[in-house]
């Protein structure tokens, strides 16, 4: 695995996803606001993406009043609290390409925070299009395998079945002893494929649109691997940053 999926797996294995509650609330609230704003509705029936975000809010034990305030902000009911979605492109340690998605109410503040992290790492921000061409917009669905709870199912057979169902690509991994998969499809097929997987007996844990790297940078030494992972972690710690995508390829033995 590499790039986005690799970074997600590393965070799970290291427990880095267990960030401070306040930081979690900020990120989820911003995600709710921008989803409502872009979808033009605070109703999950007419804004399907909002349903997944509200599930994240529930998992984080986010108070209902915080959720409602984020929805109202997205609907423009709270004067002076407008937010916008931003994307930064740049190169970090070991010349790894990074795409950084954020939601902010102060673009200049977020730009300066992100710029500082890039420059302190020896990297630099780049112009629009200088990095994005190395990524493809894809739908990513995370599912549980159908094998035994200890993860001893036939992963090869399940991966072939997932391809037959319409997956463009499949990556497998184990989490807490359970076999799981990342299923990739063309972005317009995300909701349709999620329904197919559920009907086929797979447990869908999440679905989202992501940037999947198409050009990879191989990391060959432990020092470079640590610098790249530390850099990605610092970006994700920023309140205004929602997603970090990168095109690194780090062998398991270096993690």
With 60 as the cut, is the pLDDT of residue 159 above it?
A: yes
Cα dihedral 181/99/224/237 (nearest 10): -80
Q: What per-residue confidence (pLDDT) applies to 5? A: 53
Burial track 29-56 (b if 16+ CB lie within 10 A, e otherwise): bbbbbbbbbebebbeeeebebbeebbee
Q: Are 149 and 178 in contact (CB under 8 A)?
A: yes
Contact between 154 and 147 (Cβ < 8 Å): yes
Is pLDDT larger for residue 3 or for residue 183? 183
Q: How confident is the model over 193-197, as a mean pLDDT? A: 93
Alpha-carbon torsion angle 64, 69, 74, 79, nearest 10: 170
Q: Which residues pair with 124 in a beta bridge?
A: 91
What is the per-residue pLDDT for 179? 87
CA dihedral 49, 54, 55, 60 (to 10 degrees): 140
Judged by average pLDDT, the poorest of 5-9, 175-179, 234-238 is 5-9
pLDDT digits (tens, 9 = 90+) for 72-116: 999 988 877 778 899 999 999 999 999 999 999 899 999 999 999
Higher pLDDT, 82 or 195: 195
Neighbours of 209 (CB within 10 A): 12
pLDDT in tens, 9-54: 665 555 444 444 455 788 889 989 998 988 888 888 888 778 878 8
Class of CATH domain 135-213? alpha beta
- pLDDT average, residue stretch 180-188: 93
Better-predicted residue by pLDDT, 132 or 208 = 132
């Amino acid at each position: 695995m590499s790039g986005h999926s690799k970074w997600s797996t590393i965070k799970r294995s290291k427990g880095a996803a267990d960030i401070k509650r306040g930081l979690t609330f900020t990120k989820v609230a911003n995600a709710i606001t921008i989803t409502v704003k872009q979808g033009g509705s605070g109703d999950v029936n007419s804004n399907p993406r909002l349903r997944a975000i509200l599930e994240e809010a529930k998992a984080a034990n986010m108070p209902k009043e915080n959720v409602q305030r984020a929805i109202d902000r997205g609907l423009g009911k709270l004067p002076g609290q407008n937010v916008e979605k931003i994307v930064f492109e740049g190169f970090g340690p070991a010349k790894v390409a990074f795409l950084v998605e954020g939601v902010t109410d102060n673009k200049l503040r977020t730009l300066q925070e992100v710029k500082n992290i890039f420059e302190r790492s020896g990297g630099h921000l780049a112009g629009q299009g200088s990095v994005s061409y190395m990524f493809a917009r894809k739908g990513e669905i995370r599912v549980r395998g159908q094998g035994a709870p200890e993860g001893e199912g036939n992963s090869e057979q399940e991966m072939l079945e997932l391809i037959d169902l319409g997956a463009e690509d499949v990556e497998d991994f184990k989490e807490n002893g359970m076999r799981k998969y990342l299923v990739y499809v063309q972005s317009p097929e995300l909701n349709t494929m999620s329904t197919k997987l559920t009907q086929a007996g797979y447990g869908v844990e999440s679905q989202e649109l992501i940037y999947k790297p198409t050009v990879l940078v191989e990391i060959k030494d432990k020092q470079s691997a640590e610098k790249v992972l530390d850099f990605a972690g610092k970006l994700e710690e920023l309140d205004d940053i929602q997603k970090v995508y990168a095109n690194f390829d780090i062998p398991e033995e270096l993690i």
